[in-house]
Amino acid sequence: MNCSDSQHLAPGTQHPISLRLGLLGGSFNPIHNCHLTIAHHVYERMQLSQVLFIPTGDPPHKRNDSLAPANVRYEMVRLAIADSSFFMVSDIEIQRKGTSYSIETIRALRRHYGPSTELFFIIGLDAFLDFPTWREPHELLTICHFVVVPRPERSFQALAEMPLLPNLHPPTLALLDTGTQKRLDILVPSCPGITCLVIPPCPTSASEIRRRVRSGLPLANMLPPPVESYILRHSLYQEESDRTRI
């Protein structure tokens, strides 16, 4: 991995003294408008300096033939955020050989950006509920402030059952599920903390986009136009088993 490669990690070579950096990882297969909506909401409401998109190279929990090559997914992210001055993309996990784990990526980013940078790990509620099974979850909590956003058919009340987060009250969490409360900050001893943010629902999914591409259905308002053009131009996702067109 080459974390000092500024063309992949930042548009410039100087980092603000008090950088508040959001980290949004995923397969981005492909990146779509909901990913961008989530990034925008968290950027504004958490008062971030920038959001760094981190496409996975060899994700340990997503091994299937529908996954486009890493360099293709990276290029689609680059196209999607090209007009934004506060969105960036990193190839840190793509460059790493073998399976990547979040703790390795976060440690590398911490070394690159230095201790004055605050790291905000943006994660969907469904993935965060599996967080205790990740590699070194306690260490991750000490390095990053986690920002948890809603996911369809998952309840914030389930957080009360996580052993990593004792003493959470289901009635308080229920206010997030109903939208009565838009934000909940959870204090975690000796850690930056966890923030649950309620954002508007966004039904678009990458699997639905791939299905529509295969079926020749319209993709209106689901993808950034440059990404849609790229997919159609290179005949991506025409067959789930075809991963080598590019």
The sign of the dihedral angle between the CA atoms of 45, 148, 28, 21 is positive
Unique residue bearing structure tokens 């976060």: 106
Give the burial string for 156-182 (b: 16+ CB within 10 Å, else e): bbebbeeeebeebeeeebebbbeeeee
**What's the pLDDT at 58?**
61
The two tokens of residue 144 are: 């990053």
Q: At 36, is the pLDDT very low, low, confident or very high (cuts 50, 70, 90)?
A: very high
**What's the pLDDT at 100?**
82
Q: At 243, is the pLDDT very low, low, confident or very high (cuts 50, 70, 90)?
A: very low
**What's the pLDDT at 18?**
80
Q: Give domain limits for the chain.
A: 12-233
**What's the pLDDT at 32?**
98
For residues 192 and 87, what is the distance between their CA atoms, to the nearest angstrom?
23
For residues 222 and 242, what is the distance between their CA atoms, to the nearest angstrom?
22
- Residue 104 vs residues 138, 164, 171: alpha-carbon distances, Å: 13, 20, 36
For residues 233 and 235, what is the distance between their CA atoms, to the nearest angstrom?
6
pLDDT in tens, 54-109: 999 865 555 567 899 999 999 999 999 999 999 999 999 999 887 889 999 999 99
For residues 119 and 22, what is the distance between their CA atoms, to the nearest angstrom?
6
User: Which residues 6+ apart lie within 8 Å of 193 measured at CB?
Assistant: 145, 146, 185, 186, 187
pLDDT in tens, 139-174: 999 999 999 999 998 999 999 999 888 789 999 999
Taking residues 193-212, report their average pLDDT: 95
Q: At 246, is the pLDDT very low, low, confident or very high (cuts 50, 70, 90)?
A: very low
Phi first, then psi: give them for residue 139, nearest 5 degrees.
-65, -40
Q: Give 201 or 21, the one with higher predicted confidence.
A: 21
**What's the pLDDT at 4?**
29
The model's pTM: 0.88
Unique residue bearing structure tokens 């969490």: 173
**What's the pLDDT at 37?**
97
**What's the pLDDT at 163?**
86
Average pLDDT, the chain: 88
For residues 232 and 244, what is the distance between their CA atoms, to the nearest angstrom?
15
Domain 12-233, CATH 2.60.40.10 — does that match? no
Question: Is 13 a residue whose pLDDT tops 90?
Answer: no
The two tokens of residue 174 are: 């229920």
